[in-house]
Amino acid sequence: MLRVESVVKSFGGFKAVDRANLHVNAGEIVAVIGPNGAGKTTLFHLLTGHLAPDSGRILFKGKEIGGLSPHVICRRGITRSFQVVNIFPRLSVFENVQIAVLSRERKTFRIFSPVKGMAEEEVLRILRSVGLFDQRDVGGDLLSHGDKKVLEIAVALSGNPELLILDEPTAGMAPEETERCIRLIRKLSGESGLTILFCEHDIGLVFEIANRIMVMVRGGTVVQGSGEEVRRNREVQSAYLGESG
């Protein structure tokens, strides 16, 4: 579904992403791991159009998407959440999801029809499925940190993506929130067969839920494979897992 071939992105003289390779098949949960500064977030920005690659190819469903603008890539079927909470703070939880649904339905240029009640059924269904139904009328900025991260996922889901990209979905979460988030990711993958690509610092969590893992070090891909393959890889052991034994 997604194929990244020797993509390079540098800032000044620094190569943040250096010949990274990655492939994601439909229905999989793929994790990207790597030490801080390995280029995981930069790679995700390249996939979703927030940055344009210097060279290399990014193919989604066989078509090149590298360098397209974010809104175009979203319409092709990739949506994402962000590492740092990135919601619409002055809109309510309901409205956060609602405008994402309306955007997908291309209704954002209707200027006189009342927005109230539009797409209500779908918005409520999404909020119920992620567990934010009770907070639907709360302002986005008044949610707890964990709920904001979940709202991010809800907003990303509203685009009805084929590929969902989550940039550190559990960053900054309390343990029980993390637990809830993992259950949500599992559920999305299991129930609707959604393809998910995520990156994460919590290695235990990665091995628990990912079908396959890609390891990035200094911008490049060290290895991509099953949890077992990654564990056995010498280079990974020395570069990354070594310290934890």
Return residues touching other proteins (CB under 8 A).
48-50, 69-71, 74-75, 79-80, 82, 86-92, 95-96, 98-100, 102-104, 107-116, 118, 134-135, 137-140, 142, 155-156, 158-159
Q: Which is nearer to other proteins, 63 or 71 (CB)?
A: 71
Residue pair 206/200 in contact (Cβ under 8 Å)? The answer is yes
Counting runs of H as helices and runs of E as strands, what totals does the chain give? 9, 10
**What is the rounded distance in angstroms from the CA atom of residue 31 to the CA atom of residue 42?**
15
What's the closest the beta carbon of residue 50 comes to other proteins, in angstroms? 7
What's the closest the beta carbon of residue 72 comes to other proteins, in angstroms? 8
Beta strands 55-60 and 195-199, pairing class? unpaired
What's the closest the beta carbon of residue 106 comes to other proteins, in angstroms? 8
Residue with the two structure tokens 């949610």 = 143
What's the closest the beta carbon of residue 89 comes to other proteins, in angstroms? 6
Q: Which is nearer to other proteins, 12 or 114 (CB)?
A: 114
Residue pair 200/170 in contact (Cβ under 8 Å)? The answer is yes
What's the closest the beta carbon of residue 68 comes to other proteins, in angstroms? 11
Q: Which is nearer to other proteins, 86 or 237 (CB)?
A: 86
Supply 209's token pair: 């839920």
Query: 220 to each of 20, 80, 108, 143, 203, how far by Cα in Å?
Result: 5, 22, 39, 37, 19
Q: Which is nearer to other proteins, 8 or 118 (CB)?
A: 118
Rg (CA), the chain: 18
What's the closest the beta carbon of residue 20 comes to other proteins, in angstroms? 21
Q: Which is nearer to other proteins, 134 or 228 (CB)?
A: 134
**What is the rounded distance in angstroms from the CA atom of residue 76 to the CA atom of residue 2?**
12
Q: Which is nearer to other proteins, 13 or 114 (CB)?
A: 114
